[in-house]
Chain A
């Protein structure tokens, strides 16, 4: 019994990581209807940026991420402003092709610079520390922090979306880009800010990706897949749904692994397919549309 409760808790915390992966994707899709196929690769790229800052300045991963975040914010703005805005229009194919190309460029660029060696963001003692809940159940500190950060990130994004003038502009542009312009909203600027914010979320994802496990330049696309599944399970456009989606995949994987370690990945995908069959629009589709 205790072992199953433990499995469940580990799954929920793993789900926090998937929700972090998915939050940035969900934000960009929600506002621009832009599917960023390079999302996973941007997470890996960000992890390398954090790694470089750590080794160059001798920082711990948290401080390095704090330092990397503004730079990635700027990168996100520039990426949208100079490249992705040119691809957005009635046709959804151009952004898919361009971000697919970016995915390949980032992977190969990282391979060229950092080689295929596995890397890790070493966090010191916190890596092995845990909080005991009694009954033989212990939560890893980093695992718990991942979930808390995911909730924090989604809370923050919801505050931006529903409590600020910028958030109102985000939602209006997402509803009707043509009319949004008539309000004096410069769509392209709004889109660039959305990607910039998504890049900060990506930086947070990269921090936990790198602290929890090894990474190398090629693992991006698999993270994209989990992120995608979490977004779809949750229902497009709902950030809390995205958190729920991440947790469902995390729990499914943990339960699958408990039954047979080979089933871990498969169980996550099966949970995704089950939700698609039962609730094709996801668990929390956006109302009013």
Chain B
């Protein structure tokens, strides 16, 4: 049984349909990458999985249990955390408060603590009492990942963590992935940076206009296949 599965998942913004039946499977211990052009539905997919958008009960299962349509706070308690696009730290909370509030709905059997987050991202340690809006983009991204980890997720969803960051900062952030996996979390990253995505992922899904256009292991996919799936043939 897969850790997280979607079956014919659809999503709507009002009358506008953003996802047309996505079937996706995440195994325990896996890292998945979802790639696709702007507006392909990648972020919408993550938002639907964490309960910010409505879904039919059976269309999302977690350890075999239907969780589609549950409220977002319930889903985070089950062990699915999202690092949202654009980081979205709480501006009136300090860095440490942002991390602490990540543990508000945490699962039992806690691996992550403030100390372990500071170990993972030493840059945050020096800034722990700073207001979160004074951090650099890279530090903000680290804080956003740390905040999501504080819930001790079994599934960590990362939405465009490299967006707007310098290459060296992106490398630093991706360097944390092995430790995050070692903590027992399986990971789905949504990336526009295809090279980065192919490097870290065990399997890749490509979305195009709300549909799945390609699925496979990075080493099995050719450039042309990805190109066609990304932009449409």
Interface residues in chain A, defined as those with a beta carbon under 8 Å from any beta carbon in chain B: 165, 168-169, 171-172, 174-176, 178-186, 286-289
Contact residues in A for B77 (Cβ distance below 8 Å): 184
Q: How many angstroms from the CA of A182 to the CA of B93 in the assembled complex?
A: 16
Q: What are 6 A-B contacts defined by CB distance under 8 Å?
A: A171-B92, A179-B88, A183-B147, A185-B73, A186-B71, A287-B131
Of the candidates B50, B88, B91, B106, the one having the most CB atoms from chain A within 10 angstroms of its own CB is B91
Q: Identify which of residues 69-101 in chain B touch chain A, using a CB-to-CB cut-off of 8 Å.
A: 71-73, 76-77, 81-82, 84, 88, 90-93, 97, 100-101
Contact residues in A for B133 (Cβ distance below 8 Å): 288
Contact residues in A for B231 (Cβ distance below 8 Å): none
Q: How many angstroms from the CA of A52 to the CA of B181 in the assembled complex?
A: 62
Q: How many angstroms from the CA of A288 to the CA of B81 in the assembled complex?
A: 26
Classify the secondary structure of A's interface with B: helix
Contact of B101 among A168, A174, A186, A288 (CB under 8 A): A168
Which size class do B's interface residues fall under?
20 to 34
Cβ A169 vs Cβ B90 within 8 A:
no
Cβ B73 vs Cβ A181 within 8 A:
yes
CB distance from A138 to the nearest CB of B (A): 42
Answer whether residue B104 sits at the interface, using C-beta atoms and an 8 A cutoff: yes
Shortest Cβ distance from A175 into B: residue: B90
Contact of A168 among B72, B81, B84, B93 (CB under 8 A): B93
Q: How many angstroms from the CA of A176 to the CA of B92 in the assembled complex?
A: 10
Q: How many angstroms from the CA of A181 to the CA of B51 in the assembled complex?
A: 9
Q: How many angstroms from the CA of A251 to the CA of B97 in the assembled complex?
A: 38
Answer whether residue B29 sits at the interface, using C-beta atoms and an 8 A cutoff: no
Answer whether residue B24 sits at the interface, using C-beta atoms and an 8 A cutoff: no
Q: How many angstroms from the CA of A179 to the CA of B86 in the assembled complex?
A: 11
Cβ B73 vs Cβ A184 within 8 A:
yes
Contact residues in B for A286 (Cβ distance below 8 Å): 92
Cβ A176 vs Cβ B88 within 8 A:
yes
Cβ A181 vs Cβ B90 within 8 A:
no
Contact of A169 among B76, B101, B106 (CB under 8 A): B101
Shortest Cβ distance from A237 into B: residue: B92
Contact of A184 among B52, B84, B105, B131 (CB under 8 A): B105
- CB contact under 8 A between A171 and B52, given known A184-B104, A186-B73, A288-B131: no
Contact residues in A for B100 (Cβ distance below 8 Å): 168
Q: How many angstroms from the CA of A179 to the CA of B98 in the assembled complex?
A: 11
Q: How many angstroms from the CA of A184 to the CA of B91 in the assembled complex?
A: 18
